[in-house]
A = this chain, B = another copy of it.
């Protein structure tokens, strides 16, 4: 994700200093005009915005808690964490950076590698409104940014996104199986529903994977499971029960942990529904 996002910043005329744990990944951006750095400290030096795009909250923490990194931050620099993390992690990070005098935004994205390449990412931002306004032109070079609320709200919106994706996959699986077992053609069903209230990209794309049996990811079921765990966990932190999300979480857990299908696309939740009903593919 990071590489195409950096390319779109360069295309929009922003100078970009890049660093990656795997040096070749950063090096590949040199031909696009990026300044390739030998360390994170070097990459953040003199930057107006520090952008992190990492695997999870603890990985972002590790970088942010490195005193050499924060010592190198330019006064007034804004840290924009575009990784998908837990809202609670975002809040702790914001407090930490605030204590050092820096603003921070959470700005996770949806839209995948394709959205990153085409600069059409949905960017969901949480944090101080003034920091968001300052970062907005830069964020919009990578997609379409919306301010959802205070720190953590970007991550909340990302979890909302993933809850909807997971539950829609679950019910598309049920719709597909119902039509199939009732003697109809699920491919024709999807065609019939096109443009109506039940239509969605999930119905068309993930539904097609269920009938073709092609579960090449896409988005892996293990990642969807991680998201569902975070959704239910954040709900518990807020003191609320989210019954559909909880049930979908349990089913992705069964798919990944009991059926061993975690490496497959999240549309493979259809396989859990088949297994539950004693049916084979």
Produce 1/0 per residue, A216-253, CB < 8 A to B: 00000000000000010011001111111101100100
**A-side interface size class:** 35 or more
Question: A126-B184, A184-B126 given as contacts; is B198 within 8 A of A160 (CB)?
Answer: yes
The smallest C-beta distance from A65 to any residue of chain B, in angstroms, reads 24
Within 8 A of B (CB), among A173-193: 174-179, 181-185, 188-189, 191-193
Q: Are B150 and A183 in contact (CB under 8 A)?
A: yes
Contact flag A183-B144 (CB < 8 Å), given A161-B193, A242-B177, A277-B241:
no
Stoichiometry, as copies per complex, reads 2
Docked-complex contact B244 and A170, CB < 8 angstroms: yes
A245 to B156, CA, bound (A): 26
A149 and B243 form a contact (CB under 8 A): no
Instruction: Name, among A123, A159, A171, the residue most crowded by chain B CB atoms within 10 Å (CB to CB).
Output: A171
SS class, residues of chain A in contact with chain B: helix
- Complex CA gap A185/B152 in Å reads 11
Q: Is A194 an interface residue (CB 8 A)?
A: yes
Pick from B152, B188, B199: contact of A148, CB below 8 A: B188
CB-defined contacts of A199 to chain B, threshold 8 Å:
200-201
Most chain B C-beta atoms within 10 Å of own C-beta, residue among A147, A166, A194, A238: A238
Contact between A153 and B244 (Cβ–Cβ < 8 Å)? no
A168 located at the interface, meaning its Cβ lies under 8 Å from any Cβ of chain B in the complex = yes
Cβ-defined contact, B235 with A178, below 8 A:
yes
Closest residue of chain B to A110 (Cβ to Cβ) is B196
Residues of chain B with a CB closer than 8 A to A276's CB: 241, 243
List, in ascending order, chain B residues with CB within 8 A of A20's CB.
Answer: none
A255 contacts partner chain B, Cβ-Cβ < 8 Å: no
Indicate whether A183 sits within 8 Å of B153 (C-beta atoms), given known contacts A172-B164, A196-B110. Answer: yes
A154 to chain B, nearest CB (A): 8
Q: Is the CB of B110 within 8 A of A197?
A: yes
Q: Which residue of B lies closest to A188 (CB)?
A: B148
With a cutoff of 8 Å between Cβ atoms, the chain B residues found around residue A277 in the complex are 239-241
A161 vs B235: C-alpha distance in the bound complex, in angstroms? 28
